[in-house]
Amino acid sequence: MKSGSNLEKVLAAGHFSVTAECGPPRGADPDIVRKKAALVKGNVDACNVTDNQTSVVRMSSLAGCMLIKEQGIEPLIQMVVRDRNRIALQSDLLGASALGVRNLLCLSGDHQKFGDDPQAKNVFDIDSMQLIHLAKTMRDEGIFPSGDKLEGAPKFFIGCAVNPFADPFEIRVPRFKMKADAGADFVQTQCIYNMEKFKKYLELAKRENLHERVKILAGVTPLKSAGMAKFMRRMVAGIDIPDEVVDRIAAEPKEKQAAKGIEMCIEQIQELKEMEGIAGVHVMAIEWEEKLEEIIGGAGLLPRPLVQ
Amino acid sequence: MLPCTGRIDESLLLKAFENGADGVMVIGCLEGDCHYVSGNIRARARVKRVYGILDTIRIGPDRIRMFNLSAGEGSKFAEYTNEFVEQIRKLGPSPINVVRAKQGSAVTREEAT
Amino acid sequence: MITGTPKPIDEILEMIEPYDNIIVAGCHGCVTVCRVGGEKEVQVLSSTLRLAREAAGRPLTIKEVSLERQCDPEYVEQMRPYVGDFDAVVSIACGAGIQFLAEKFSATPLLPGINTGFLGVTERQGEWSERCQGCGDCVLHLTGGICPVTRCAKSLFHGPCGGSVNGICEVGKDTACGWQLIIDRLKKLGQMENYTKLKPYKGWDSSRDGGPRRIIREDMI
């Protein structure tokens, strides 16, 4: 075991794993996190805590991780390279590991332009690819990138994100391979709506044997309404929602669209479960955590396995 | 002597105001009929920039205007000129001249020449 | 070249508010080419300031000067004989030139008349765009001649990120994705193997992060 995290164990035992995510609040109130945690608990093998997503200032990811850990959920810390240089990143990796966080997701981070503080100075000292390498070096070699020995190596199950739908398509798999080479143990994909394109991507990844080297968790996000689908398609870079998906939910009367969205999400998870090379799902029910149990249970993935 | 409105640049137009002009007419050849291909088009762009400058320093953009005429349009020239002079009369003397008149020195300032 | 944009007239008027007798100094280098700080711009700015101040009842005397370059001591020295006769200097050279004047003429206030932009190229008359951040460690041979530090909004060394759509960067529809440009060029050159190599962490110490930089070439001293 590289990290001994629950997520790593569940995947190593060959179970189809489930992760979800929890966005920390825009404030210092810990009860908001605890309330979300109660909705997540029991439904996942680990829960991501986002790191100032879309550059909107929120409670720190590490604090969020500790709050959900107190509630009995295994945390997965997200770390973006937008806001911290390599000194701060190393320091936070050590701190997170010391506090018992065992799962890590290495990300670039959305450009600050999208957040509260578009005039902020961005950092991008190293990129997400190099953060993977940094975490792996510290974990496996017990040294800082400077070469100095660590007083205790951090233990992380190291993850990365891939977006099979961003452009240009042809470098998406080579870039995934670079992340595997840099040291990623698992990957969570951008939310998938275009299953055809995703299958094409997966085939190419499998040809490179990436599914054997890296555990692939397919990202899904239930649609609340046809309006949400149209909004995401228009506003979020790198989200690909085909017409037939929008049409299917739009065909329902407004009050039944949410239920339809959940039904479609469950169907999708069931399809992903049967696909060779997919090791789990990452369910991003954005501000809709109360539906996690219905979705994950509906897909036949409850209760979550207990692995020693 | 200017061979073409294309030779006029922003500083020349501003100098006219420094020298006490209340208004400046720039008259170029008809568009598409420049002997130097596009001199009058360039002049128009420069007049437009000066228009912006006069606006920011609150001397008033309406004190400068570009016209296009051919050499054979004498009566039109007179008509345009009368119209522009009337416009400037309505605006009154430029703020520069107002200040100079108060100081009793409506003559051209030395350093502006 | 080093590019720049004029400061708003009102901002300059505010800076020169305490003064009645100033120099407006241009530069025949980059700022002349990008039409923000050359001889013509000195004339236009000077006329504008004089008109504005006279209309406000506080006439201003201006000496108009254009140096060959404000970033070379021999040209800067040309101002020395008379600079002390003036209350202040508004320089419309780049930030380097303005600072060099300030350094050389320590008793005279130096005021910036332009906002210095970036190291860039002329796309067409009136349009310039950035190409180089002067990071001190060029990798253009590996990236198809297109700079990831400058052209990628996140300065990624392993781009593009998930925000690249149809060759456009997530920061705005007028911004090309730098990594899409790099990939297109590498493909054309048959150098895609450069793309798939893991690059070492960049040393930003050769960039601005190492403090103000100096170049000393012993062979030329």
The answer to whether residue B40 is domain-embedded is yes
The answer to whether residue B22 is domain-embedded is yes
Q: Would an 8 Å CB–CB cutoff place B46 in contact with chain C? A: no
Q: In this structure, are residues A53 and A25 in contact, taking their beta carbons and an 8 Å threshold?
A: no
Per-residue pLDDT tens over the stretch A85-115: 999 999 999 999 999 999 999 999 999 999 9
C166 chain-A contacts, CB cut-off 8 A: 167
Q: Are residues C107 and C149 in the same domain?
A: no
Q: Which chain B residue's Cα is nearest to C13?
A: B57
Q: Are residues C150 and C82 in the same domain?
A: no
The answer to whether residue B112 is domain-embedded is no
Q: Are residues C142 and C92 in the same domain?
A: no
The answer to whether residue C123 is domain-embedded is no
The answer to whether residue C128 is domain-embedded is no
Domains of chain A in start order, with CATH, are 6-221 (3.20.20.220)
Of A124, A174, A190, the CB nearest to C162: A190
Of C40, C44, C55, the CB nearest to B59: C55
The answer to whether residue C132 is domain-embedded is no
- Domain encompassing residue B52: 5-106
Determine A/C contact with 3+ CB pairs under 8 A as the test.
yes
The answer to whether residue B91 is domain-embedded is yes
Measured CA to CA, the distance from residue C213 to residue C190 in angstroms comes to: 36
| CA distances for A145 relative to A86, A90, A136, angstroms | 10, 9, 10
Amino acid of residue A49: V
Q: Are residues C110 and C142 in the same domain?
A: no
Indicate the burial class of A121 (C-beta count within 10 angstroms; 0-12, 13-18, 19 or more): exposed
The dihedral through the CA atoms of C5, C10, C15, C18 has a sign that is: positive
Asked if C163's CB is within 8 angstroms of A238's CB, the reply is yes
pLDDT (tens, 9 = 90+) of chain A, 308 residues, equals 999 999 999 999 999 999 999 999 999 999 999 999 999 999 999 999 999 999 999 999 999 999 999 999 999 999 999 999 999 999 999 999 999 999 999 999 999 999 999 999 999 999 999 999 999 999 999 999 999 999 999 999 999 999 999 889 999 999 999 999 999 999 999 999 999 999 999 999 999 999 999 999 999 999 999 999 999 998 887 899 999 999 999 999 999 999 999 999 999 999 999 999 999 999 999 889 999 999 999 999 999 999 98
Q: Are residues C26 and C105 in the same domain?
A: yes
The answer to whether residue C152 is domain-embedded is yes
Q: Are residues C95 and C186 in the same domain?
A: no
- Domain encompassing residue C151: 137-201
How distant is the Cα of C60 from the closest Cα of chain B, in angstroms? 10
| Residue B64 three-state SS | strand
Measured CA to CA, the distance from residue C51 to residue B95 in angstroms comes to: 9
Total domains present in chain C: 2
Q: Are residues C187 and C96 in the same domain?
A: no
Q: In this structure, are residues A255 and A226 in contact, taking their beta carbons and an 8 Å threshold?
A: no
Q: Are residues C146 and C70 in the same domain?
A: no
Per-residue pLDDT tens over the stretch C26-53: 999 999 999 999 999 999 999 999 999 9
The answer to whether residue B57 is domain-embedded is yes
The answer to whether residue C207 is domain-embedded is no
Total domains present in chain B: 1
Domain with residue C59: its CATH number is 3.40.50.2300
Measured CA to CA, the distance from residue C214 to residue C221 in angstroms comes to: 14
Measured CA to CA, the distance from residue A234 to residue A222 in angstroms comes to: 17
Q: Are residues C15 and C42 in the same domain?
A: yes
Q: Which chain C residue's Cα is nearest to A233?
A: C165
Q: Are residues C111 and C48 in the same domain?
A: yes
Q: In this structure, are residues A301 and A261 in contact, taking their beta carbons and an 8 Å threshold?
A: no
Indicate the burial class of C220 (C-beta count within 10 angstroms; 0-12, 13-18, 19 or more): exposed
The answer to whether residue C210 is domain-embedded is no
Measured CA to CA, the distance from residue C24 to residue C92 in angstroms comes to: 7
Q: Are residues C50 and C88 in the same domain?
A: yes
Q: Are residues C10 and C89 in the same domain?
A: yes
